[in-house]
A and B are shown apart, each in its own frame.
Chain A
Amino acid sequence: MIQTVPIPASRRRVFDSVFSPASLDDFSPTPVATPALDYTAVGQPFGGGIQTYDRTSLPRPSTASSFLSNDTVPLADEVDKTTWDHAWQVATAFLVLPDAKLSYLEVCGEVDQERFFKQWNRHDPPSKETTEALAYLLGASSAGRQSSGITFERPDLLEWYGNETRRHFLKNFREGLLLLLRATEIGDALQKTVQYLHLARTIYLAPVVEHILPLLDTKAQEKSFGAFQEGFHAVVAYSLPWNTLSPLLAQEVTKEAFIILGIDTLATTDDDENDMEVDRQCTISYLEWREEPSDEVRMHMMAENDDAQVTAARDRLLSLFNGLQLVGLGGDRAQKVFASVMDALLTEFTREAYTGQWEGPSLVVHHLRQWIENVFARLVVQVLAIIHPPEQGSQASDRLSISLSTVERWQESGIARLGALRTGELFDVIVDWPASSGAIEDLRHFTTHPAARLYVTQTFITALNQRLLHPGASTVEILQVYISIIRGFTLLDPKGVLLDRIARPIRRYLRDRDDTIKAIVGGLLADPDEADEQVQPAAGSSADETLVELSAELAKAHRSSLQRADSGELDWDDMNWMPDPVDAAPDYRKSKSSDVIGSLISLFESKEAFVKEMQQMLADRLLRKRGDFEQELSVVEFLKVRFGDSALQACEVMLRDIFDSKRVDASVRNDQRLAQEPDPGVDQPELHAKILSRFFWPELQPLEFKVPEPVAVQQQQYAEGFESLKQSRKLTWHNGLGQVTVELDLEDRVFVDQVTTWQATVIYAFQSSSSALAVEDLSQELAMSAALVRSACLFWVSKRILTEVQRDHFCVLEVLPSETDENAATGGSHPVDAGQDSEEADRSAATANAAAAADAAAAAAAKETADAAAMEKMNLYWQFIMGMLTNQGAMPLQRIVMMLKIAVPGGFPFSNEELREFLAGMVNKGKLEIVSGGNYKIIRDA
C-alpha cells in the first residue's frame, strides 16, 4: 500500500524512477526532443479559476507559431517529423486537462452535465484540424511506424494522455480526496470519494472514448481502453491509502448489511414493537418464525424479507460497490473487506437472533440454515458479482458463481458460530435446565467432531470452575447443577463421553465437601409433597435447600431399572452394541447407571458412608411421632435394589423396629392393663414406647435424667410387660428421646402442646410447688445438667408458662397478668422492658426474647454435651499420642497431626492450633516435654 507520509530517501528514489520525479507543474506534454515550446505556461490560464476559463486562452497560438518555425528544418526526415510534431501539438492541446482543484468537482451536482463537462474541456467537438491530427498520430503509431522507417522517437499519444491524466489527478485531486477521507466527521466520505473519482474518471475517459477509440480497430480499442483504465486504477490505488479507505468501507458495508441481513430488527425486537410493526412488515426474528406453524410460510418469511428499507439499503450498498469497482477500488481488497464484514455479521446474527432462545424443541438450526441460504448467500452473491478481481478471464466466471457447496459451507460455519454461542451460554442453559432443552439440541448439531466436543467440554469446565466449584456455592446447589448436567449431557451425548469428561472435576470437588453425603441422603429421604413442612434439625436448612427432586428421581429410576435388567458391561444379548466413541478417555466406561441417583451414589467408593448417613437420618425421622413411614419404607426399598439387601440391613431393622413397636406396644399395654385407665380423674400419663434394637441403630446421644415418678412407674410396668412378652430381652429407656404431649391446667387457661421429654420433665417439677424453683435445685433433683434445665425453663418462659423471678429462679405464671399488671410485673423483673408502651409489641417482644433465649440456652446445652463428648474423644487421642511418642520417639506437632489423621479411624477432627493447645496442657501437667526443634517428647514416668 502506498503511503503518502514522507518516505525514506531510498524508497523515494525507487518511486521516482517509476513516477515522474519532476514537479508536477513542470510536466511536459511533449517529448524533450521537440523544439522548445513554452508549455510551462499551460496551467496558468486556468489558475484564475473556472469562471475565467476560456477556450481561447489555450495556448493554441503559440502552437501554431512553433509549427511554422519548425518548418525550416532541412532534413527529409524532418518533414515527417514536422508534420508529426504539428499534429502532436494540436492533439495534445485538445486533450490537455485544465488544472483545477477538487472543489470544482463539487459543483457537479449544481450545474448541468453539459456545462460541467464543458468547463473541463470536454464534450467539445474537435475541430477538423484536431481530428486530422489525432488520426495522423494514431495512424502513425499503429500502422506507419514500421513501414516508413521513421527514425525519430515518436511517443504514443495514448501513453502521453495516460501520463497527463495521472499528472492531473495527482496534482489536483489527490490532496483534496485525502483531506476528504481524513475528515472523519463527514459521514459519507466514502460515497463522496467514490463519486468524485467517478467524475474524474468520466472526465479523463471522455476524449478517449469519443475521439480516440473510434479511430482504432476493435482489437486495439479494447487493448488501449483496458490499458488506460488500468492506469487510472493504478493511480487511484496509489494515491488513496487503502488502510484509510478500508475501515470506511467496512463501516459502510456493516451499516447496510445490518439492515439487509435483518439484524437491526432483531436488536430492537423487545423495546419498540409497535415501531417495528410499522417499519418492517417482515422480520427474520427467530421467535416469530418459530411460531409460524407451516414450513412453507416459514420459507416465505425468509425469502420475502425484503421491504422498502431493505431494498433501499441493498441498492445503496450495491451502487457503492459498483462505484468502487469502476474507479478501481473494488477487486481483491474490497472483497477482503466485505468478507471480514460478513464474517463478523454472521457471528453477530447468531448472537442477536439466538441468545437466550432455549426453548425446546429447537428449530434454531433449521432457521439458521434457511437464513444463510436465503438472506446471507443472496447478498454475498450480489456483491461478489460486482466486485471481482481485475484479472478477467475464464476463472473470473468460476469465482462468481457461488456453488451450492459453498452455501453449505457457510451454513456449517453458521452452525459453528451457533455452537460457540451455545457453548458460552452452556452454564446458564444447564442452570435453567428443564426449560432450556432447545439449546442442548442446538449443541448437538455442533458437537459432531472431536475438536468441537473438546471445545465444549473445556469451555464448560472453565465456566464450572469459575461459577460453581467454589466455596460460595452450597453443596445442594452444586448437586442440583450436577443433576442438571447429567440430564442435559445425556441428551447432548447419549454415549456419555462428554458427561464423563465434565463430571470428573465436579465429582472430585464434591468428594472434598463434608456435607455431600448428608445433602444426598437428605434429598433421597425428602418428601416432595411435604417439602415445606419438613424440618430438618440436623441439616438446619430450609426446605428448598434439600434436593427434593432426588426422591422423585429415585422412584423414577427404580421403575426404569426394573424394566431393563442391568447386565453390566458384557451384555452379550445387546444387539445395539456400539464401540466407544473415538474421543472417549482411556478409562472411560459407559456407566451402567447413567441415571442421576447412580452417579451421585457412586461419588464415593464405598456404600458404607451412605448407609451410615442414611441410618442417622432415618433414625432421626423414625423417632419423630408420625403415623406412618411410607416414604422411608419406599426409599429403603429403592436403595436396596441398588446397594443390595445386606448393606441396608440395619435400615431395614430400624424400620421393622418401628412397625413392630406398634404391635408390641399395643400388646404390652394390653397385658399390663395400661391401656384401660377408665378413670379420667386419676392423673395418669399414657406411655407408649418405641422399641429399638440397639445394635442396629446408630449411636443415640444419651441424655439421662430422672423422669417424673408416675412415668417411671409406668416404665417399670412396661418393661416387665415387655420382658414377659419377649423372653431374654431387656428394655433400656432412653429418656432423652421422644415426645410428650403435655396439658397444663393453669388458673386462667389450659395449655396443650407437644414438647420434648426433658422439657416436660422440668415443667412437671413445677407441678407440686407454687414457689420459685432454682435451676440448681432442679438440676439436682432431676439429675439433669443445669444448662439443660435452664434451657427447658426458658422454653417455658417463651410459652408464658413460667416466669423468671430472678436470675435462675423460675415460677409458674398461673394467671396471665393483665395489661397493667404485666407492665408492672415486667417492670419489676425485667427493667429493660419497663419503658415499652405498646402492650402488643411488648408482649411479642418479650415472647420473642424468651424464645430466643430458650433457643440459645438449648444450643448452649447442646454445646455443653458436645464439648463433653469432644473431651471424651480427646482422651482417646491422648492415648494415640502417647503410643505414638512412646514408640516413634519425639515428634514435632505437624507430624503428630499427620500421624493422627492416618491412624485414628474416622480422622482427626481438630486443627493444629487446638492440638497445640492440648499438648501445651499436657506439658503443663508434666506428661510431655518439648525438646530441641519443637519436638514433643513423652516423659517416662518413674
Chain B
Amino acid sequence: MDYSMEDTQNAAPDAHETSKLSSTAQRADTQSVTKRLQHELMELMLSPSPGISAFPNADGNLLSWTATITGPTETPYDGLSLKLSFTFPNNYPYAAPTVLFITPIYHPNVDFSGRICLDILRDKWSAVYNVQTVLLSLQSLLGEPNNASPLNAQAAELWDNDKEEFKRHVLARHRDIDEE
C-alpha cells in the first residue's frame, strides 16, 4: 500500500507553519542550496578579493546573484566594470551555475549575448568551486583568453594580431550599465 500521500497531508501543517516563520526558509530540497549560498556569501564578505564582488538579487531567494568584476590592470579591460548574472540551479553545488555577462563585452570567449566559454562552468564543474573561484577564473580569463576555442573568432584573431585594434573594440562595445 502506498501511504505516502497520507503522510504528505499530515505533514502539511508543519510546512505551512514553516513558511510563515521565515521567508528565507524554503522547501526541504532547496534548503541546502540556500544554506550553501548563504555560506558562500558570508565567506565572500569576510574575505573580499580585490576587483570582484557579488551579491544576491533583491527577489528574496538566494538563487540569483549579480556579480561585478573590475577589469584587471595590464589588460584591455583595465578599469572597466563588468557585471555578470549568476543563476543557481536547485541542485547547486552539484551542477554549475549559469553565468552570463550583462555588460556588453568584447572578448574571444564571450559571445555577443554574454555567454561564456569556460571549462569550469561546463564539463569541468565541481562542487568545490564557488562563486568566488568562478569570479577569479573569469577575472583571469579577461587577461588570458583561451584563443583555442573562441566564441568570437574576430576577437581571438585581433587579440593575437592587433592589440590596439582589440582594445578599441573593447572600449567601443563597453557600456556601463550601472544605472538601470
Contact = CB atoms under 8 A, between A and B. Distances in A.
A883 B65 CA distance: 11
Interface string A742-765: 000000000000000000000000
A214 interface: no
A627 interface: no
A570 B1 CA distance: 13
Nearest to B177: A889
A887 B14 contact: no
Contacts of B54: 883, 887
A511 B58 contact: no
B33 interface: no
A902 B55 contact: no
A903 B56 contact: yes
Interface string A586-599: 01110000000000
Contact of B53 (A570, A886, A902): A886
Given A605-B17, A902-B24, A903-B55, A887 B48 contact: no
Interface stretch (B39-47, B90-98, B115-123, B164-172): B39-47
Contact of A605 (B18, B62, B65): B18
A876 B46 contact: yes
Q: By CB atoms of chain B within 10 A, which of A604, A605, A887 has the most?
A: A887
Given A605-B25, A883-B48, 17 more contacts: A587-B12, A604-B21, A876-B45, A876-B46, A883-B44, A886-B55, A887-B54, A887-B67, A887-B68, A888-B57, A888-B66, A889-B178, A890-B179, A899-B58, A902-B24, A903-B41, A903-B56
Contact of A886 (B6, B41, B68): B68
B67 to A, nearest CB: 6
B23 interface: yes
B55 A883 contact: yes
A887 B58 contact: no
B58 A895 contact: yes
A376 to B, nearest CB: 46
28 contacts: A569-B7, A570-B3, A570-B6, A587-B12, A587-B13, A587-B16, A605-B17, A605-B18, A876-B45, A876-B46, A879-B45, A879-B46, A880-B45, A880-B55, A883-B44, A883-B45, A883-B55, A884-B55, A886-B53, A886-B55, A887-B54, A887-B66, A888-B58, A890-B179, A899-B58, A902-B23, A903-B55, A903-B62
Contacts of B12: 587
Contacts of A588: 13
Interface residues of A, number: 27
B107 interface: no
A589 B65 contact: no
Interface in B58-83: 58, 60, 62, 65-68, 81, 83
B160 interface: no
Given A570-B3, A879-B46, A887 B13 contact: no
Sort A-B residue pairs by CB-CB distance and give the 9 closest, nearest first: A879-B45, A587-B13, A887-B66, A883-B55, A887-B55, A886-B53, A605-B18, A884-B55, A883-B53
B55 A605 contact: no
A890 B179 CA distance: 8
Contacts of A570: 3, 6
Q: By CB atoms of chain B within 10 A, which of A589, A886, A889, A940 has the most?
A: A886
Given A889-B180, A895-B58, A902-B24, A882 B53 contact: yes
B161 interface: no
Contacts, number: 70
B132 to A, nearest CB: 12
B12 to A, nearest CB: 6
A890 B6 CA distance: 49
A902 B60 contact: yes
A151 to B, nearest CB: 95
B149 interface: no
Interface string A898-940: 1100110100000000000000000000000000000000001
A816 to B, nearest CB: 55
Contact of A888 (B17, B18, B41, B55): B55
B140 interface: no
> Chain B interface mostly helix, strand, loop or mixed?
mixed
Contacts of A889: 178-180
A899 B57 CA distance: 9
A110 B138 CA distance: 123
B42 A905 contact: yes
Nearest to A585: B13
Interface in B79-111: 81, 83
B66 to A, nearest CB: 4
Interface string B8-29: 0010111011101101110000
Contacts of B7: 569
B54 to A, nearest CB: 6
B38 interface: yes
A511 B21 contact: yes
B53 A887 contact: yes
B139 to A, nearest CB: 15
B31 to A, nearest CB: 10
A604 B25 CA distance: 12
B81 A940 contact: yes
A887 B180 contact: no
Contacts of B6: 570
Contacts of B44: 883
Nearest to B39: A905
Contacts of B67: 887
Contacts of A903: 38, 41, 55-56, 62
A721 B10 CA distance: 57
Given A887-B68, A887-B83, A889-B179, A605 B58 contact: no
A876 B44 CA distance: 10
B180 to A, nearest CB: 6
B17 A589 contact: no
B80 to A, nearest CB: 11
Contacts of A884: 55
Contacts of B13: 587-589
Interface string A603-646: 01100000000000000000000000000000000000000000
Contacts of A589: 10, 13
Interface in A493-532: 508, 511
Nearest to A885: B55
Nearest to A899: B58
A459 B33 CA distance: 44
Nearest to A883: B55
Contacts of B68: 886-887
Contacts of B65: 887
B55 A879 contact: no
Contacts of A605: 14, 17-18, 21, 25
B20 to A, nearest CB: 8
A229 to B, nearest CB: 71
Nearest to B86: A887
A555 to B, nearest CB: 28
Contacts of B42: 905
Interface in A867-900: 876, 879-880, 882-884, 886-890, 895, 898-899
A604 B62 CA distance: 23
B48 A879 contact: yes
Nearest to B20: A508
B77 to A, nearest CB: 15
A418 B44 CA distance: 66
A111 B100 CA distance: 119
A588 B20 CA distance: 17
A888 B66 CA distance: 7
A887 B18 CA distance: 31
Contacts of A888: 55, 57-58, 66
A570 B13 CA distance: 17
Nearest to B57: A888
A228 B137 CA distance: 117
Nearest to B70: A940
A508 B24 CA distance: 18
A591 to B, nearest CB: 10
A883 B54 CA distance: 6
B55 A905 contact: no
